[in-house]
Amino acid sequence: MEKEVALDQHTSLWIQKIDKGSNAYGVNDLHSNLAKIVLISPRIGNEIQSKFPLKKYLQKYIEDGIKNGKHAQTIDKWKYTIQALFRFISPSTDIRDITELDAKSWYDSISNYEFKPNKKYSVCTLGKYVKLIRQFFEEFKDMEIISRNLFRKIRSAGNSDPSRKVYVAKEVASYFFENCPDYQLKVLIVVATQFLQNRGKVKTYP
């Protein structure tokens, strides 16, 4: 074969489930034969040896980001997201064996996870996690490890906190801009207003 072509996730999982037994010689015929031509991961004893372990390739993603000069804050965000991913998907999992059901189950579980007593991840944080995980798996797709991004259909509730949203009437906004003497002041008003809204300090206008 000129190029390794992995089976799709569903087929690979199906083979693992139906071929757990051995023949009279102690050989898992179907599984071992497909593993020889690199279509699925080989077994060590009764365990599947991951050819594309999730942890290994996410570590490489981070290392490449550092080499390419990504900002330290960006790297930290990646690490936090990976920690969240590993809470409900094992780091040793073969990337090709992760299913859409796994992706959905991860999101449902992380949404209800209390990282502190009575403290769950905010809607904003969940949205950021989902966005970055999609980014990771898009990279795996580009590497031809997987044929499609299994987290593509996962939709978080949103990337904003509803409690921080403030309604500003059109008349109020027009009043601000009409009474600004110059463009720079208009920009300052917009920036200051947005900052205060995000801090939850501004709820209404006089």
Q: Do 170 and 80 share a structural domain?
A: no
Q: Does residue 1 fall inside a structural domain? A: no
| Tens-digit pLDDT profile for residues 7-29 | 555 565 555 554 444 444 344 55
Number of domains, the chain:
3
For residue 17, what pLDDT is reported?
Answer: 55
CB under 8 Å, gap of 24 or more: what pairs does 70-74 form? none
Same domain, 179 and 125: no
Note down the domain range covering 145.
54-160
Question: Is residue 151 assigned to a domain?
Answer: yes
What is the per-residue pLDDT for 205?
Answer: 41
Q: What is the pLDDT of residues 29-70, one digit of tens each?
A: 555 555 554 545 555 444 555 789 999 999 999 999 999 999
- The distance from CA 122 to its chain's CA centroid, rounded to whole angstroms, is 15
83: CATH: 1.10.150.130
Asked whether residue 72 falls in the same domain as residue 148, the answer is yes
Do residue 44 and residue 128 come from a single domain? no
Task: Label residue 63 exposed, middle or buried (CB < 10 Å: 0-12, 13-18, 19+).
Answer: exposed
Residue 183 is predicted with a pLDDT of 72
Q: Residue 11 contacts by C-beta under 8 Å, 6 or more apart in sequence?
A: none
Q: For residue 140, how far is the Cα from the chain centroid?
A: 12
Q: Are residues 142 and 59 in the same domain?
A: yes
In this structure, the strands spanning 47-48 and 114-116 are unpaired
Q: Are residues 117 and 59 in the same domain?
A: yes
Residues 16 and 102 placed together within one structural domain of the fold = no
